[in-house]
Chains A and B, each alone.
Chain A
């Protein structure tokens, strides 16, 4: 049986793509405001949890986690993971066409490689078929 996905399941993968990259961006922005954390001042990590950008990032990553777990329940890890990288492409394209930022040749090449990588996996089966144990056949 070749495992293909329904449109609803592609929507879950879309949520996996978008929430991960947006969440990471928010966290990164928050941590630049918090400042450097050293081994002697690990308590600062708890202070970081009060930063609104870090809080928004965490909420976004919770949404990511829910959609990621749902996807893992019907697809292989090596099928779901490349889709998380596709979020980087979305962020890069948004920054180009919305924020009018410059995208270097390296970045365009990176975008092309990620799109190809996701395309390779998306064209294949989503789940590895494992032979069922004898007891389950009876």
Chain B
């Protein structure tokens, strides 16, 4: 059964979807960068306990910026889901986020995004879009 919604125009639809993707990419890259700086959480927990691990994470400014970006992404997703059908908004923003993250991880985190990982990002991106059909 189709949901009746206050549908957005093409421009507004894609602006909201791209906003969700960009803020999600910023959040992922900032938190991944923060976790890389903080180090292995399993080791920190073994030495300083759970509270020590939580303290190490929440005292990182980069992590807090990442959470802020994720919160923005979360609210823009809620906003988008109320305007755009979930069958378009969810896979489109997820697919853009997967490809954008592969590029951002290579540029900002200097991860070794080799052919295998690019292929994985593209396969997952196309797969997510097909799943929504």
Which of A's residues lie within 8 Å of B, judged by CB?
24, 27-28, 31-32, 34-38, 42, 44-45, 48, 69-70, 72-74, 76-82, 85, 88-89, 92, 104, 106-107, 109-114, 116-118, 120-121, 123-125, 128, 130
Contact = CB atoms under 8 A, between A and B. Distances in A.
Given A85-B98, A113-B126, A77 B6 contact: no
B79 A92 contact: no
Contacts of A81: 28, 98, 101, 121, 124
Contact of A113 (B40, B113, B114, B124): B124
Nearest to A123: B116
Contact of B41 (A36, A69, A104, A107): A69
Interface in B5-38: 5-6, 28-29, 31-32, 35-36, 38
A94 to B, nearest CB: 13
Interface of B: 3, 5-6, 28-29, 31-32, 35-36, 38-42, 57, 75, 78-79, 81-83, 86, 90, 94, 98, 101-102, 105-106, 109-114, 116-117, 119-124, 126-133
A110 B120 contact: no
B3 A120 contact: no
A63 to B, nearest CB: 15
Contact of B130 (A24, A28, A45, A113): A113
A69 B30 CA distance: 11
B90 to A, nearest CB: 7
Given A73-B35, A106-B133, A32 B120 contact: no
A4 to B, nearest CB: 15
Nearest to A130: B110
A125 B112 CA distance: 10
A74 B111 contact: no
Most chain A CB inside 10 Å of its own CB: which residue of B6, B39, B131: B131
Contacts of A42: 79
Contact of A121 (B90, B101, B116, B126): B116
Output the residue of A35, A77, A106, A128 with the most chain B CB within 10 A.
A77
A113 B123 contact: yes
A28 B128 contact: no
A79 to B, nearest CB: 8
Contacts of A76: 32, 105, 109, 111-112
B131 A110 contact: yes
A121 B101 CA distance: 14
